Structure 1
Amino acid sequence: MKLRSVVLIAVLAAGTALAQTPGIRRSVIQKADLSAPGREAVVAKVELDAGATAGRHSHPGEEIGYVLEGEGDLLIYGEDPRHLEVGDSYIIPAGTVHDAINTGKSTMRLVSVFVVEKGKPMATPAK
């Protein structure tokens, strides 16, 4: 798997905390408290149109994702770019700045799970 794809997935799955960027659709499927104090899990479906980018951002917790359809590049800053395709998964550490781009010719579809601190924005744009 390549880093750029993972980043793309993370950005796509950021949910409603980031304004919807043209070419990206994020839908929260489920949100629930966890047994870890102050943490919650958020499951999101993410769709990224061909050529669309997620934008540099980070999350107040880990992002774990899986590519359902399409392909793209994940850009985790400080690491080599990573290409993701159907069946690939990724984990982005809490607070890590990342980005993603759909490099394919069709929509990239992902499922992302966030294990984040309750009460904090789901995602924060990077400067």
Structure 2
Amino acid sequence: MKTNQVVLILVLAGAAGFAASQTSGIRRNVIQKADVSVPGREAVVAKVEVDAGGSSGRHTHPGDEIAYILEGEGELLVDGEDPRRVKAGESYVIPAGTIHDAINSGKTPLRLVGVYVVDKGKPLATPAK
């Protein structure tokens, strides 16, 4: 088996395990993982979809989340901030370790591309207490 096939299998297996641990109504499909210029960090690019009425659940990331909304609308709840309405064509940045939740308040799926610059080897997301 070639190295790139092994890497693809590991990425898919990790994404499947991560997807199973998420709140229902959300799917994150990892598109790519790659090292970045900061030692011990990696970039994870994912396609994220939240069903109508669904939410991501309160969680954190071990690094920054940068997202661009492709379709739909919702509400971004960031601890310590007022709720923020977001819709297709907009973007947002969530700093590392910040507790947040995304709720799809629309009637169609909320689809976005998320880029996470995170600590290598840590879970992409951790449920908040």
TM-score by length of 2: 0.84
Shift of 1:79: 0.4
Calculate percent identity across the aligned residue pairs: 69
DSSP-derived class of the 1:63 partner: strand
Instruction: Tell me which amino acid in the other structure corresponds to 1:69.
Output: E
DSSP-derived class of the 2:112 partner: strand
Alpha-carbon distance in structure 2 between the residues aligned to 1:88 and 1:47: 15
**1:72 is matched with which residue?**
74
Shift of 1:28: 0.2
Root mean square deviation of aligned Cα: 1.2
**1:62 is matched with which residue?**
64
Instruction: Tell me which amino acid in the other structure corresponds to 2:94.
Output: I
**1:98 is matched with which residue?**
100
**1:122 is matched with which residue?**
124
- Runs of 4+ residues deviating >2 angstroms: 15-18
Match of 1:38 among 22, 40, 44: 40
Point out where structure 2 has 5 or more consecutive residues left out of the alignment.
1-14
Decide which structure has the larger Cα Rg and report it.
2
Point out where structure 1 has 5 or more consecutive residues left out of the alignment.
1-14
Q: Which has the higher contact order (CA 8 A, sep 6+)?
A: 1
> How many residues get paired?
113
**2:6 is matched with which residue?**
none
Alpha-carbon distance in structure 1 between the residues aligned to 2:123 and 2:29: 16
Shift of 1:59: 0.4
Alpha-carbon distance in structure 1 between the residues aligned to 2:124 and 2:49: 17
TM-score by length of 1: 0.85
DSSP-derived class of the 1:62 partner: strand
